[in-house]
């Protein structure tokens, strides 16, 4: 799984890149997210190490970690995973991705992303037309907006 194509990497981006600092609130939110998605300590450390090397070392601090607000809002959308329809939505999103045209890179990154949320199997079934026919994707849940942007389902303007 590519570290940069994961929801936890996205969370780190929200936390850090607001002003180049990480607040205590953000640290707690990241802990909460780790528990909610069942991310192992080892995997988290791999992602954070890579993130530090790729992103943090190039940041210039300009505040006290204001990114925690955006992170809090996004972590709040993780409740979508408790929705019984989340698997169906993931399947529909897979089908929508297929219809829009899916390159190898987009498949790899989006499958990696969805897998960390426990939605990888349903998403793959939607992409590869496996099992029951996936329904239409009415709207993209806020939790999945970042990956929907990665695969070109929505643009930043459409958020």
Partner 1 sequence: MADLDVDKMLEPEQILHASMILAVESENVQDDDLILKVQEALSCDSSDYDAALSHIEQHRDGGNWGGRSEAVLHRSRERLREAMDSGTLPSEGPLADSLNTLIGDDDDDGEIDPFAELGVSSSNGGSFGSTPVASDDPLAAFMDDEDDDDDIVDESGYFSGEQPVNSEEEEELVVDSEPTVVEPEEEIPEEPEQNFSPIAGYEMLMSTCWIDGILDPAEAKLLSRKRAELGITFEQHLEILRNILESSS
Q: Output the DSSP codes for 23-71.
A: -HHHHHHHHHHHHHHT--HHHHHHHHHHHHHHTGGG----SS-THHHHH
Nearer to partner 1, 65 or 126 (CB): 126
Count of residues that bind partner 1 according to CB under 8 A: 15
Stretch that binds partner 1, among 6-14, 65-73, 96-104, 144-152 (CB under 8 A): 96-104
**From candidates 40, 41, 104, 139, binder to partner 1 by CB under 8 A:** 104
CA 79 to chain centre: 13
Q: How far is the CB of 147 from partner 1 (least distance, A)?
A: 17
Distance (Å, whole) CA 38 – CA 42: 12
Return the sign of the alpha-carbon dihedral for residues 109, 113, 114, 120.
Answer: positive
Site for partner 1 in 110-139 (CB under 8 A): 124-125, 127-131
Is 68 a binder of partner 1 (CB under 8 A)? no
Q: How far is the CB of 134 from partner 1 (least distance, A)?
A: 11
**From candidates 32, 66, 72, 98, binder to partner 1 by CB under 8 A:** 98
Residue 135's nearest CA partner among 144, 145, 143, 125 is 125
Binding residues (CB under 8 A) for partner 1: these are 98-99, 101-104, 107-108, 124-125, 127-131
């Amino acid at each position: 799984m590519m570290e940069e194509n994961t929801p936890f990497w996205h969370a780190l981006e929200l936390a850090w890149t607001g002003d180049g600092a990480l607040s205590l609130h953000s640290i707690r939110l990241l802990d909460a997210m780790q528990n909610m998605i069942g991310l192992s300590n080892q995997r988290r450390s791999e992602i954070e190490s890579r993130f530090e090397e790729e992103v943090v070392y190039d940041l210039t601090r300009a505040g006290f970690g204001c990114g925690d607000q955006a992170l809090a809002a996004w972590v709040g959308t993780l409740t979508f995973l408790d929705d019984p329809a989340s698997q169906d939505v993931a399947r529909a999103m897979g089908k929508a991705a297929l219809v829009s045209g899916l390159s190898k890179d987009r498949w790899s990154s989006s499958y990696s992303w969805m897998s960390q949320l426990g939605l990888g199997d349903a998403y793959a079934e939607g992409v590869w037309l496996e099992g029951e026919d996936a329904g239409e994707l009415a709207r993209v849940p806020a939790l999945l907006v970042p990956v929907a942007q990665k695969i070109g389902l929505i643009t930043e303007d459409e958020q």
